[in-house]
Amino acid sequence: MEIAMLTCAVHKANLQQTSAGLRCILLFSLPFFLCCRLALGQTIPTSLNDYFSHARELEKSEDYAGAERVYQEAAKDYPNQPEVLKRLGIVYQTELKLQESIDVFQRVLHGAPQYPEVNFYVGLSYFGLNQFDKAIDSFNKELEANPNYRRARYYEAQAYRSLNRNADALQQYEILLKEDPSDKKALYQLIRFLKSATLQAVDHLADLDQNSEYILVLRAESHKDEEKYTQAINEYKAVLAKSPDFPGVHFGLGEAYYDNVDYPNAEKELRLALREDPNHPKANYYLADILLKSSRIAEAVPLLEIVVTAEPTYMKGYYLLGKCYAAQGRLDDAVKLLEKAADLDHNDKNVHYQLGQIYLKLKQPAKSREQMQIFEKLYAQEREKKTERLKGLRELTGIKTDDKHQ
């Protein structure tokens, strides 16, 4: 019995010594292994977040190869984490290893077909490889899971353009701008798209017939947009000589005369335009303005009543009709129209001036003062902006602005 107990005590003492020895070995060996690993440029992350933090730092310093190695190591330690593969794929994409990125992204989608953003990044890689059909398919999958993911819709539009599927591209741009009218990037691309499509169509039309009436009208409109009114008028006259019944040419010619302050000829052409379309808003407005300038108020009123009915958001129509009503003594009706004009464009100083004068006639001094204060504020702002523009022009042209020379 005593021998057995003694044997047991000796065995326990040996185990304790062995354990103490192992602890001692491990304690002294651990720094050695740490130093070896650090000497090899490796870190020892203790969690997935450590891997991510280290990789992000490398990406910030544009060491993408280093970030790639960190994500690859994380993928070995955490093989069931799709986020690791997603981030590895994005790094591959940044390095323009597009096929490698697709392969990694597909591993994510195999286990999670709608993992956030991965279909988008697959589409982006296919887009970079000029495989636009596959890109569109991936973008659509992303949009199925997340219809509000704007980047997918934007690049889908770009892919459609690359395939000359212009109607589909236009639809995507319109959706983007409907959701956010202030999206400058989408608006810029839409303008470029429409400009390109227009130029292509004009070139094609010119190839069919360089001197057709259609080309002449387009030239006239281009001259008018550039305020080259004499050239525009000549082009419109050439259209009439070639095709007297060409739709809309009388309005175009009348507008060019109006802009060129040739009111007698403008009135003639605008009346012809109204024979074609009696409800044409701009033709009625221009003609009414010409009539008002020559104090033919009674003739102008019915034309302006057509304008505000046909174009209920056209501020100038309400303003001009309000002035006519005021001249006829219909002050209450004039106020209603001018208030509507102010609602449509609160920053038009002339509307507030007219309201101020009419309220004074209606013996409503408080409202008159309010409108005149708005007018004076807008007038001062306009003067300030004009001064700033002139100052900028002088600086640009090198003209000195010393008091003695002003």
Tokens representing 270 are 């605008």
Q: What is the mean pLDDT of residues 341-350?
A: 93
Helix/strand/coil (H/E/C) assignment for every residue in 309-373 = HHCCCCHHHHHHHHHHHHHCCCHHHHHHHHHHHHHHCCCCHHHHHHHHHHHHHCCCHHHHHHHHH
Q: At the top level of CATH, which class does the domain 80-202 belong to?
A: mainly alpha
- Give the pLDDT confidence score for residue 10 in this predicted structure: 35
- Give the pLDDT confidence score for residue 28 in this predicted structure: 40
For 137-180, the pLDDT digits (tens) are 999 999 999 999 999 999 999 999 999 898 999 999 999 999 99
- Give the pLDDT confidence score for residue 145 in this predicted structure: 92
- Give the pLDDT confidence score for residue 399 in this predicted structure: 53
Helix/strand/coil (H/E/C) assignment for every residue in the chain = CHHHHHHHHHHHHHHHHHHHHHHHHHHHHHHHHHHHHHHCCCCCCCCHHHHHHHHHHHHHCCCHHHHHHHHHHHHHHCCCCHHHHHHHHHHHHHCCCHHHHHHHHHHHHHHCCCCCCHHHHHHHHHHHCCCHHHHHHHHHHHHHHCCCCHHHHHHHHHHHHHCCCHHHHHHHHHHHHHHCCCCHHHHHHHHHHHHHHHHHHHHHHHHHCCCCHHHHHHHHHHHHHCCCHHHHHHHHHHHHHHCCCCCCHHHHHHHHHHHCCCHHHHHHHHHHHHHHCCCCHHHHHHHHHHHHHCCCHHHHHHHHHHHHHHCCCCHHHHHHHHHHHHHCCCHHHHHHHHHHHHHHCCCCHHHHHHHHHHHHHCCCHHHHHHHHHHHHHHHHHHHHHHHHHHHHHHHHHCCCCCHHHC
Q: What is the mean pLDDT of residues 63-76?
A: 92
- Give the pLDDT confidence score for residue 211 in this predicted structure: 79
In this predicted model, which residue has the larger pLDDT, 211 or 307?
307
Name the pLDDT band for 212 (thresholds 50, 70, 90): confident
Query: Can you say whether residue 140 is alpha, beta or left, with left for phi > 0 and alpha for psi between -120 and 50 degrees?
Result: alpha
Q: What is the mean pLDDT of residues 365-377?
A: 94
Q: What is the mean pLDDT of residues 63-75?
A: 92
Lowest mean per-residue pLDDT among 203-207, 252-256, 268-272, 311-315: 203-207
For 289-332, the pLDDT digits (tens) are 999 999 999 999 999 999 999 999 999 999 999 999 999 999 99
When the pLDDT of each residue in the chain is averaged and rounded to a whole number, the result is 85
For 7-51, the pLDDT digits (tens) are 344 344 443 443 444 344 333 443 443 344 434 445 454 588 899
> Rounded to an integer, what distance in angstroms lies between the CA atom of residue 28 and that of residue 383?
82
Q: What is the mean pLDDT of residues 240-260?
A: 93
Name the pLDDT band for 206 (thresholds 50, 70, 90): confident
Q: What is the mean pLDDT of residues 341-349?
A: 93
pTM over 0.75: no
Lowest mean per-residue pLDDT among 23-32, 58-67, 127-136, 240-249: 23-32
- Give the pLDDT confidence score for residue 239 in this predicted structure: 92
Residue 1: is its pLDDT beyond 90?
Answer: no
Q: What is the mean pLDDT of residues 273-287?
A: 95
Domain boundaries of the chain, sorted by first residue = 80-202
Residue 406: is its pLDDT beyond 50?
Answer: no
- Give the pLDDT confidence score for residue 396 in this predicted structure: 66
Name the pLDDT band for 398 (thresholds 50, 70, 90): low
